[in-house]
Amino acid sequence: QFHQHTLPDYKQHSDVLESTIIKHYFNGVTTREIADLIEKMYGSHYSPAQVSNISKQMLPKVEAYHKRKLSDKFFCVYLDATYLPLRRETFEREAVYIAIGIKPNGHKEVIDYCIAPSENIEVWTEMLQNMKSRGLKQVELFLSDGVVGMKAALTRTYPKAHFQRCLVHVMRNICAKVRVDDREKIMNEFKQVHQQTNKEEATAVLHDFYTKWGKVYGHVIRSLKDIESE
């Protein structure tokens, strides 16, 4: 006997379908996709607008999530923004700010997120202050990309925390500024910096990298030196 597992078996209760709609919406399925799926599986027609109205039952849970009490300590917190297409009055890409923390026991948690038209330090500052007011008092290390003003904002909010540029973002920036034929060689050599066993060896490898590529890609090396001085 065939039993599909995408949706629960049909029952003569609208609350079953509504709970299914909420569950799929919670997992990121669009309202139109949910409406089409319900109709194909059950023959029950829900317009995208009806699905949207049902899914609004999630709003109190979202609000509670943003107001929940936070742990007082995270060992490491990653800060980054990604652009996603969002439907408001129009359908445009907006910045989703995300803070992901790692607790001293190794547990990873999405601390918070927010949405704004574009990435800027004012939104990050407000988000950091909100995190602190909700109970996050101590962070050992923050990691972020090179958004202007981030280090200063962290210093004001968490003055005892260390700050480090995200290695992935640094490598992406290098790749974008060098010739395609040189990318693989440069990346392999730059990775050697982070494969050393102590800071002294890593610094020596980094400065050798500066010497080798400084004449060809002076602008790249200057950017790396600015990061090193942080």
Catalogue the E-assigned strands of the chain: 73-87, 91-102, 108-116, 138-144, 162-165
C-beta separation of 19 from 49 below 8 A: no
Report the pLDDT value the prediction gives residue 148, as an integer from 0 to 100.
Answer: 86
Residue 5's CB is within 10 A of a number of other CB atoms, namely 5
Q: Return the half-sphere exposure (C-beta side, CA atoms, 13 A cut-off) of residue 88.
A: 8
Which is more confident, 85 or 169?
169
pLDDT tens digits for range 59-78: 888 899 999 999 999 999 99
Average pLDDT across the chain, whole number: 86
- For the cut 90, the answer to whether the pLDDT of residue 38 exceeds it is no
- For the cut 60, the answer to whether the pLDDT of residue 197 exceeds it is yes
pLDDT tens digits for range 89-143: 676 889 999 999 999 899 999 999 999 999 999 999 999 999 999 999 999 999 9
Report the pLDDT value the prediction gives residue 222, as an integer from 0 to 100.
Answer: 92
Reported confidence tier of residue 13, pLDDT bands at 50, 70, 90: very low
Residue type, 138: Q
The pTM for the full model equals 0.72
Kindly state the tokens that stand for 185. 């060689």
- For the cut 60, the answer to whether the pLDDT of residue 11 exceeds it is no
Report the pLDDT value the prediction gives residue 60, as an integer from 0 to 100.
Answer: 86
Reported confidence tier of residue 40, pLDDT bands at 50, 70, 90: confident
Which is more confident, 20 or 160?
160
Report the pLDDT value the prediction gives residue 134, as an integer from 0 to 100.
Answer: 96
**CA-CA distance, 230 to 224, in Å (whole number)?**
10
The residue to which tokens 């990318």 are assigned: 183
